[in-house]
Structure 1
Amino acid sequence: MEVDIARIQLLTQALDQRTNGTEVSDHILEKCNLTRETIAPSAIAYTAHQEAMFVRYACDALGDITFAAQTGLQFRSASSLTAYISKYSRDLRQVMENTSRFHKIIDPALMFSLRLAGNFATIEADWKDASFARYHRRTEFLLFTGLARMRALTQTNFFPIEIRFQHEVGDKKDSFQKLAGCPVVFGAERLEIAVAPSALDLPVPTYDPNLRAHLLEYGERVLAERRSPKQKLRAQVEGLITRSLPGTVINADEAAANLGMSPRTFARRLKDEGVSYRDIVDDLRCDLAQTFITNGMPLSEIAFSLGYSDQPAFSTAFKRWTGQAPSTFRGRLNFPKSP
């Protein structure tokens, strides 16, 4: 599952600037099985998972969960087919319609759609591979990148009505709102950017109808030839669990029923992938718990979100996963302790 190489080139450059050197970036690239050479301009793509991990590790290294969003706002241009289709579109409406159609070419994990609702319009994002919903820093990076691209294409500094994320960031909300220059909502029902309908009429100065028609034709051929990657069962299960949160984690039988399988077939298929349902639940809970702690959420709220009866039960599980108590993990991040 590959994404535009221009994004990690920007992320690496931004991290180098923040750390006044290349040592931190090089270390994180190595952790993501990347090197300076593999992301050099001759390269065209890397995996979505590598992007998600690079963004997470970079924010952790800086102790700044807004780094991804900050860097996303610096994104101006890309060399992908969808980027060129957008560049030669008539206005922002056409940009979003084309993005809805062709974005899967550059990021098969995520799809966009334009939705009109009365006195506002939304550019709504949906996870085709819901296992990526756990990577909050990458999600923030993508939406802030989208905002930067809309501004660059229209050559205006317009502000959305609202940017909405489904995850929570504790007391860090104001930092994201300050970056965006508009209200930023966390814990929303949908992942989306809401804009005034008039914003859809913002012209794209580089509009070229002939080039756009040619690129659209080519894009349709690429879509016709491209096969959607088949999701592993584990990824589908992670998506089901993520959607059942906060407060509840569906059991194995419910997951099997959702996927149209008998419990026995479900267990066998997971075993073929070398994993059990309990493994998936524990791994996802552990990963989300660390992200929620990094986001500054109170431990009691994290316990509820992950489906535990109380905070002590969550703390016991966290210590089993990581070898340390949640409060110890939080202390090492230099966050204030939650009540």
Structure 2
Amino acid sequence: MLDHKTQNPAVTDRVLEKCNIQRDDITVSAGTCSAHTEALFARYACDILEDPTFAAAAGLEYRSSSSLTAYISKYSRDLKQVLENTSRFHGIIDPALMFSLRVAGNFASIEAEWKDASFARYHRRTEFLVFAGLARMRNLTQIDFFPMEIRFQHETGGNRTAYQKLAGFPVLFGAERIEIVLALSSLDLPVPTYDPKLRAHLLEYGDRVIAEHRQPKQKLRARVEGLITRSLPGAIIQADDAAANLGLSARTFARRLKDEGTSYREIVDDLRCDLAQTFITNGMPLSEIAFSLGYADQPAFSTAFKRWTGQAPSTFRSRLDFTSGA
């Protein structure tokens, strides 16, 4: 998608280099890259294009998948069965998100929750995944239906209209949770490739994979980042409160973070710096960014940003050092 958009493969190569990967690393035969690498690529691609909606647009163009969940979905009866299967098996393929189907009143909602909230900072990957989910549902049913609304937890500054224009339906930011809201009738959309025997076989195989699949234990840092992210906007949870939330004493909390080579203050600063750059790229006013990141006022935020990056927020342009001739 980036090659096509720029008509210049060298631009994509530089984005890949920024993510510490090469084209050979992402060929089909090479296997997979990490979710963090994928997230960085989505972010940097949007940055170089100066288009925050690019990852969402790429998601809407997503068609094929070779995952177990994709094959089970392909042979499901209808969209409701597809979503039930996704809730059940998606955790095998994504370390960051889990999905669940909720039916309430006259609508249905596909809700996403963070298994690893350290991924919440990667807004562009989140947008890619959600819009790719919609594209997959459309591909499976072979109907370009529209959801009632898509909701994201993060803010996107002055770009809301661009997302809504891209989607063709309401896209809400700053919501309580990540979700795709559907009309109840959408759940009855049939999947033309339905095959009950193949589905039953794949479900049995999927259950075996789940039984054998061990979730990697999250590092303490990732759990702390999740607590900080959930405390935003407008406040940063204190270290003692974070320790108590995790069932640790303040001393044990500090020691375990030290064992991981970090401290609570370093985690807070790293997350604030990362989110600040994303918010600036999103076009959010500096006063709003200062509040969102828990600063008393804009000058305090500007001082911190200059300490992190060596430049004032007003002069920040992009985290990538691309030249105009790239």
2:274 maps to what in 1? 287
Distance in structure 1 (CA, Å) of the matches to 2:101 and 2:301: 39
1:278 maps to what in 2? 265
Using CA pairs below 8 Å that are at least 6 residues apart, which structure has the higher relative contact order? 2
2:31 maps to what in 1? 44
Please say if 1:60 is aligned against 2:47: yes
Aligned residue pairs total 320
Offset, 1:28: 1.5
Offset, 1:82: 0.7
Partner AA of 1:233 in structure 2: L
Offset, 1:179: 1.2
Distance in structure 2 (CA, Å) of the matches to 1:163 and 1:227: 31
Partner AA of 1:297 in structure 2: M
Matches within 5 A, 1:1-339: 14-330=1-317
Check the 8 A contact 2:117/2:225 in 1, yes or no: yes
C-alpha root-mean-square deviation of aligned residues, in Å? 1.2
Partner AA of 2:151 in structure 1: R
Range 166-175 or range 277-286, more displaced: 166-175
1:7 maps to what in 2? none
Partner AA of 1:261 in structure 2: L
Distance in structure 2 (CA, Å) of the matches to 1:180 and 1:63: 19
Offset, 1:136: 0.4
Alignment CA distance shift 1:46-1:297 (3 Å)? same
Check the 8 A contact 2:101/2:108 in 1, yes or no: yes
Q: What residue ranges of structure 2 are gaps of 5+ in the alignment? A: 321-326
Offset, 1:44: 3.3
1:11 maps to what in 2? none
Offset, 1:37: 1.3
Distance in structure 2 (CA, Å) of the matches to 1:225 and 1:259: 27
Check the 8 A contact 2:281/2:318 in 1, yes or no: no
SS at match of 2:316: helix
Check the 8 A contact 2:235/2:292 in 1, yes or no: yes
Offset, 1:109: 1.0
Deviations 1:291-324 (A, max 9, x none): 0111111110000000000000000000000011
Partner AA of 1:293 in structure 2: I
Distance in structure 2 (CA, Å) of the matches to 1:43 and 1:324: 39
Deviations 1:91-122 (A, max 9, x none): 00000000000001110211000011111110
SS at match of 1:238: helix
Distance in structure 2 (CA, Å) of the matches to 1:331 and 1:194: 33
Offset, 1:331: 9.2
SS at match of 2:101: strand
Distance in structure 1 (CA, Å) of the matches to 2:253 and 2:114: 22
Flag as ranges the 4+ runs of structure 1 deviating above 2 A. 330-333
TM-score (normalised: structure 1): 0.93
Deviations 1:258-303 (A, max 9, x none): 0000000000000000000000000000000000111111110000
TM-score (normalised: structure 2): 0.96
Partner AA of 2:293 in structure 1: L
Q: What residue ranges of structure 1 are gaps of 5+ in the alignment? A: 1-13, 334-339
Offset, 1:332: 9.8
Check the 8 A contact 2:57/2:166 in 1, yes or no: yes
Distance in structure 2 (CA, Å) of the matches to 1:170 and 1:85: 38
SS at match of 1:234: helix
Alignment CA distance shift 1:331-1:111 (3 Å)? closer
Deviations 1:214-240 (A, max 9, x none): 101111111110100110000000000
Deviations 1:114-169 (A, max 9, x none): 01111111000000000000000001101110110010000001000000000111
Deviations 1:148-206 (A, max 9, x none): 00100000010000000001111100111111111000000110000001100000000
